[in-house]
Homo-oligomer: A and B are copies of this chain.
Amino acid sequence: MRRSWQVIWPPLVTFVLLHALWELIVRRLGVPAWKVPAPSDIFRAVVDRSADLMTATAHTSAAAVLGFGLSALIGVAAGTALSSMKWIERAFYPFTVFLQTVPLVAIAPLLVLWLGYGLASVTVSAFIVSLFPVIANTLAGMRSVDPGLRDMFRLYDAGPLRTLFKLKLPAAMPNVFTGLRIASGLAVIGAVVGEFVAGTFDQQGLGLLVQSASRNLQTPLVFAAVAAASLLGLTLFAIVNFSGYWILRRWHASAR
Contacts and interface: CB of A to CB of B under 8 A. Distances in A.
Interface in A1-32: 6-7, 10-11, 13-15
Contacts of A214: 105-106, 109
A60 to B, nearest CB: 10
Contacts of A207: 103
B113 A35 contact: yes
Interface in A129-175: 132-133, 136-137, 140, 143-147, 174-175
B94 A234 contact: yes
A40 interface: no
Contacts of A103: 189, 192-193, 207, 210, 226, 229
Contacts of A232: 101
A51 interface: no
Given A105-B196, A181-B136, A226-B102, A94 B238 contact: yes
A223 B223 CA distance: 34
A110 interface: yes
A55 interface: no
A90 B230 contact: no
Given A11-B92, A210-B105, A185 B253 contact: no
Contacts of A175: 140, 175, 178
Copies of this chain in its oligomeric complex: 2
A50 interface: no
A140 B11 contact: no
A246 interface: no
A77 B6 CA distance: 25
Nearest to A90: B10
A101 B189 contact: yes
Interface in A195-230: 196, 207, 210-211, 214, 219, 222-223, 225-226, 229-230
Contact of A106 (B95, B226, B234, B238): B226
Given A11-B90, A13-B91, A101-B233, 17 more contacts: A14-B95, A94-B234, A97-B237, A98-B234, A100-B182, A100-B186, A100-B189, A103-B189, A103-B193, A103-B229, A106-B223, A106-B225, A109-B219, A136-B182, A137-B137, A140-B254, A144-B254
